[in-house]
Amino acid sequence: MRILATLSIIFTLQLCLNAQDVMMQGWYWDYPKTCNGFNWADTLTSKLPELSTAGITHLWLPPASRASFGDCSNGYDPQDLYDLGEFGLGPTGFGSRPQVDALITNASGLGMDIVADVVYNHRDGGDPEPNPAVKDYITIHYDASKSAFPSDRFRCVLPLGGSSGNDAGDYYFKISSKSQDPKFYNKPYTFLAETSIVGFQGLPALSESEPNGGGDCSQPFNTVPLGVDMDANIDATGCLTDEFKITIGAGDFNAAGDELIIYLTNPNGDYSDHRIYGIWNASAGQDVVTQLVYETYTDFTNMPSGQGGMNYTNFKPNYTTSPASSTALAGDWDWLWFFYDYDQYVPDTRTKLFDWTKWLWTDPGFRGFRMDAVKHFDPSFIGDLMDELHDVGYDPGMVVGEVFDGNEFVLQNWLNGVRASMDADTDAAIKVKVFDFAVREALKNSCDLFGYDVRNVFNRGIVDGAGDSGFHSVTFVNNHDFRGPGEPIQNDAMLGYAYILTNNQIGVPCIFYPDYYGASIPNSPTQNLQSDIDQLIAIHQDYIFGSTSVDYLSRFSTPYSASYSSGYPNTTLMYQLSGGIGGKEVIVVINFAGEDLILSHEVNAVLPIGETMTELTGNAYNSQTTINPGNTMDISLPARSYGVWVNGGCLQDLTLDQLPVSQGTYEVIDYINSSGTIANGTQVNYRGGNEINLLDGFETFLGSIFCADINPCTP
């Protein structure tokens, strides 16, 4: 039994719980945002006390920086890195800067760390700027062996008026596939041209009429009005060219200086390698395609915050570390998976992102970092960043990367790449982690896939699959990435939580907000698991925290005997944890079968014959059982349920107003006396009332915290 007296007003005392780290993803993809009149920052602030009481140590927020898609965005399109909802633009989708500050301050006061979601892979929403590297890549260096630069991320600009020589008249634009690779044929695209005077007209799109190869093909052309879409495709027959005529009247542009802006966009991100290879200026009688400028939205030098300025040289391709002449923009690291891809090898890019991370620590006060899409750039960037943080005294307790891959060896390879680039003292101070998608995949299959052998769980993940340490893993059951049909766990996700919350050897568990609070999200059953999760966190803190080993009793080829009266080996997980804070052996059993589990299973011989085993969750049919001859233990669980057993008694919460309890001699688990000394393991005489007589000295307490183990107790 744990006895909790009220806090002394004289000194600050720590809780008797040695806290197991537990993270919560405090949001989900469709969380209510400010564009719809909500404020999620305030919502989370209001929940901090109960989350702290439950044992949540880290709260992961969505990306907090100003996003290019506005206040309905989830933040993975970061625009102004230093704008957390200020600088005159109002709140972000998450909230305003004062509300973010209040959340972090309140969390810190409760001993909880706030984890920032940081995007080191890409950026979006800059101003348009000339990008000669992109022009050279598209028009000169690209071939069929490379990836086409995404056509929604550039536009073409032809100077008009002024000294350009391009005035009113007819212009003929010749468009074709650069590589003439058949994989691009018949891909649809939209052609649109506008000036500062004539913008998009909002009229129905036109459709090209074939053949329309123009003069190069001795074919007709199609006429396209300014500001009107022309839907076309990359031709697969004939001369493989489209020619569009634009007529620019004297009143359609500013004669003193203007631009004809041309967009060549593919729908649904299905990019092709089309480009404008000729522009015939009929009035001047010449091809003016060499005047065509390629622009990207990569000018971040005028952000409202005035910080984090970048331009096209910070992204791929460029003329320094990712030259347009040699890069293929291919693979996980170099393809532009999301918006404009940072080039982390450019020293200025590294400096800007490193400085931003340090600012997140020093200014708003984030104390952890969830790193998005880290499989898409060199892991040495993260290792070097950790060195930078450690060198200035910033050692976050939670640093976890998202490598979206169910192969544990891919996850471990990323970890190895990070650690190989870290200094030894940094590696000792900051334990970089990765989300364990491999364990999650096994748990998903165990819950949802009929016929799946759940014992595979024991062989999956960073620890049990790849042989790494639990200090480098964050386990989870659901998250924001799994939101399509069938992607969230559909059946009894609590069975997955039972595993990650009771097996301390496999990493830090992460709880998903909708699972905990019962928020309704698409393609997922609505479930409120708060009380069940809270119970398992408390059990973990009292008995499992600090366990030094786990024995997978029901593993494949187990040496332990088992007799099933109901249920099956392939639907049962049973394991034994040793060396935990409570000094108890802990047996966990999870029944994934659709029927009762009635099982007699041998356990590790460290449990003596005749030992009483007490079940802590209340899920089992019998609250107590004993270790039988042959070191077997009888298990009786309902279908799709779980149980946690400890030998002997159990710890329970008891507040001061529930005293006195039975007088006697107990063992102190964690105790701080008036001199601040932690007296773990000291025996204590409880005499009743509020007086506690330590056998090595007497003190009367008005309410210091102490813990005592009483055996037996009723769960």
**Residues 190 and 272: beta-carbon distance below 8 Å:** no
**Residue 690: pLDDT over 80:** no
pLDDT at 549: 96
**Residue 263: pLDDT over 60:** yes
- 231-241 mean pLDDT: 92
Q: Which residues, at least 6 apart from 290, have a Cβ–Cβ distance to it below 8 Å?
A: none
Q: Which residues, at least 6 apart from 627, have a Cβ–Cβ distance to it below 8 Å?
A: 603, 607, 608, 609, 610, 611, 613, 633, 647
> Which residue's entry shows tokens 């063992």?
667
593-602 pLDDT, tens digit each: 999 999 999 9
Give me 308's structure tokens.
């984090």
**Residue 670: pLDDT over 50:** no
**Selected residue with higher pLDDT from 685 and 604:** 604
Give me 238's structure tokens.
């004939």
**Residue 80: pLDDT over 70:** yes
- 654-661 mean pLDDT: 42
**Residues 443 and 499: beta-carbon distance below 8 Å:** yes
The CA-CA-CA angle for residues 175, 181, 183, to 5°, reads 105
b/e burial code for range 255-264 (CB count within 10 A of at least 16 → b): eeebbbbbbb
Give me 478's structure tokens.
């659901």
| Dist CA 544 CA 541 (whole Å) | 6
Give the H/E segment covering residue 539.
helix 530-539
| Dist CA 22 CA 368 (whole Å) | 13
136-157 pLDDT, tens digit each: 999 999 999 999 999 999 999 9
The domain made up of 549-647 has a fold known as Immunoglobulin-like (2.60.40)
**Residue 650: pLDDT over 70:** no
pLDDT at 252: 98
Integer angstrom CA distances of residue 209 from 197, 206, 213, 619, 641: 28, 9, 10, 70, 64
- 465-471 mean pLDDT: 97
pLDDT at 659: 43
pLDDT at 8: 23
Q: What is the DSSP string of 545-597?
A: TT--EEEETTSTT-SS-EEEEES-GGGEEEEEEES-TTS--EEEEEE-SSS-E
Percent of the chain with pLDDT over 90: 86
- 166-172 mean pLDDT: 97
- 332-351 mean pLDDT: 96
Percent of the chain with pLDDT over 70: 88
345-375 pLDDT, tens digit each: 999 999 999 999 999 999 999 999 999 999 9
| Alpha carbon of residue 314 to chain centroid | 24
**Residue 121: pLDDT over 50:** yes
Strand partners, 318: 323
Q: Report which of 280, 300, 298, 297 is spatially closest to residue 289, judged by C-alpha positions.
A: 280
| Dist CA 116 CA 366 (whole Å) | 6
**Residue 682: pLDDT over 90:** no
CATH architecture of 19-123+340-544: Alpha-Beta Barrel (3.20)
Strand partners, 278: 174
**Residues 191 and 232: beta-carbon distance below 8 Å:** yes
The domain spans of the chain are: 19-123+340-544, 127-299, 549-647
Q: What is the DSSP string of 165-206?
A: S--SEEEEEEEEESS--GGGTT-EEEEEEE-SSS----PPPE
pLDDT at 649: 59
- 380-405 mean pLDDT: 98
Q: Which residues, at least 6 apart from 640, have a Cβ–Cβ distance to it below 8 Å?
A: 491, 492, 495, 591, 592, 593, 594
Enter the DSSP assignment of 30: T
pLDDT at 452: 98
**Residue 630: pLDDT over 70:** yes
Local structure of 490: helix, strand or coil: coil
420-463 pLDDT, tens digit each: 999 999 999 999 999 999 999 999 999 999 999 999 999 999 99
Q: Report which of 125, 196, 145, 150 is spatially closest to residue 294, judged by C-alpha positions.
A: 150
**Residue 128: pLDDT over 60:** yes
The pTM assigned to this predicted structure is: 0.88
pLDDT at 269: 84
| Dist CA 291 CA 546 (whole Å) | 68
Report the side by side order of strands in the sheet with 286-287.
Answer: 222-223, 241-248, 169-177, 274-281, 286-287
Mean pLDDT of the chain: 90
Using omega within 30 degrees of 0 as the cis cutoff, is the peptide bond preceding 712 cis?
Answer: yes
**Residue 81: pLDDT over 60:** yes
7 CB burial (10 A radius; 0-12, 13-18, 19+):
middle
pLDDT at 190: 97
Q: What is the DSSP string of 199-259?
A: ----PPPEE--S----GGGT---EE--TT--EEEE---STT-EEEEEEEE-GGGS-TTSEE
553-565 pLDDT, tens digit each: 999 999 999 999 9
Q: Which residues, at least 6 apart from 265, have a Cβ–Cβ distance to it below 8 Å?
A: 151, 152, 189, 190, 192
46-66 pLDDT, tens digit each: 999 999 999 999 999 999 999
Q: Give the Cβ contact number of residue 13 at 10 Å.
A: 16
**Residues 276 and 214: beta-carbon distance below 8 Å:** no
Angle between helix 437-448 and 408-420 (nearest 10): 160
Residue 10 pLDDT grade (very low, low, confident, very high; cuts 50, 70, 90): very low
pLDDT at 238: 87
Strand partners, 401: 371, 434
- 255-274 mean pLDDT: 94
Conformational region of residue 285, where left means phi above 0, alpha means psi within -120 to 50, and beta covers everything else: left
Q: Give the Cβ contact number of residue 277 at 10 Å.
A: 17
| Dist CA 131 CA 468 (whole Å) | 44
